[in-house]
Amino acid sequence: MKIAVIQASSQKQRNELLCQCVKKAVREQGHEVINFGVFPDEEAEYSYIQTSLLIGLLLAEGAVDFVVTGCSSGQGMMLACNSMPGVLCGYVQNPADAYLFGRINNGNAVSLPLGLQFGWAGEINLQSTLDSLFCEPFGTGYPPEDAERKIRDTVQLKAMRAASQKSFAEFWKSLDDGLLQSVMQRECVWEYVRNAGNRR
């Protein structure tokens, strides 16, 4: 699995920590982790809205399989990501949230609160949350006695979302030019998407 790490500029000081925690959480599974920033030394600013568009693009083009993201509260990023066609993003603020999202909801992105209540020992909760997310295969259902129903519900949810949304290409064409231009300046994402076909 290819896992992208990308967060809004409001929490760019947490980028390296977030990336290292993801790498540690998946090291035994052999997943590839790609860090798209936003990096601490960058002057360019990306809101959670702009970042969600980059996330939608990465997933729609099949450049990555899963995205770990966040903003100050995590809520705005989760809402923006869930506005993207084909993105099912969970808000995970603790290990239980993360574990249940991975097992039951089987989405393709999670948003973390990287500022809200991220005080002393916040990195411990972050690592534990990511460990719980990736500790077992996604989509297995929970609890075990209800797993079959939970899996069936998730399949129905994804079908319902797909039926209610435009394709990503149609969605992209409907966006404001100013917003698109700002997003298209994120060259590290565009370069990765352009080369995704060569890596398959």
The rounded distance, in Å, linking the Cα atoms of 77 and 56 is 12
Average pLDDT value for the chain: 94
Average pLDDT over residues 118-129: 93
Q: What is the pLDDT of residue 3?
A: 98
Decide if pLDDT at 58 tops 90.
Answer: yes
Q: How many residues are recorded in the chain?
A: 200
Contact between 119 and 14 under an 8 Å Cβ cutoff? The reply is no
Q: In the structure, what pLDDT confidence band is assigned to residue 200 with cuts at 50, 70 and 90?
A: low
CATH 3.40.1400.10 fits 2-199, yes or no: yes
Q: In the structure, what pLDDT confidence band is assigned to residue 119 with cuts at 50, 70 and 90?
A: confident
Q: In the structure, what pLDDT confidence band is assigned to residue 199 with cuts at 50, 70 and 90?
A: low
Average pLDDT over residues 85-89: 96
pLDDT digits (tens, 9 = 90+) for 92-104: 999 999 999 999 9
Average pLDDT over residues 106-126: 94
Name, in order, each residue with C-beta under 8 angstroms of 171's C-beta and a sequence gap of 6 or more: 56, 84, 85, 165
Q: 69 - beta bridge partners?
A: 111
Average pLDDT over residues 51-79: 97
pLDDT digits (tens, 9 = 90+) for 157-166: 999 988 999 9
The rounded distance, in Å, linking the Cα atoms of 86 and 107 is 10
Residue 7 φ then ψ, to 5°:
-135, 165
Question: What are the sequence ranges of the domains in the chain?
Answer: 2-199
Q: What is the pTM of this model?
A: 0.94
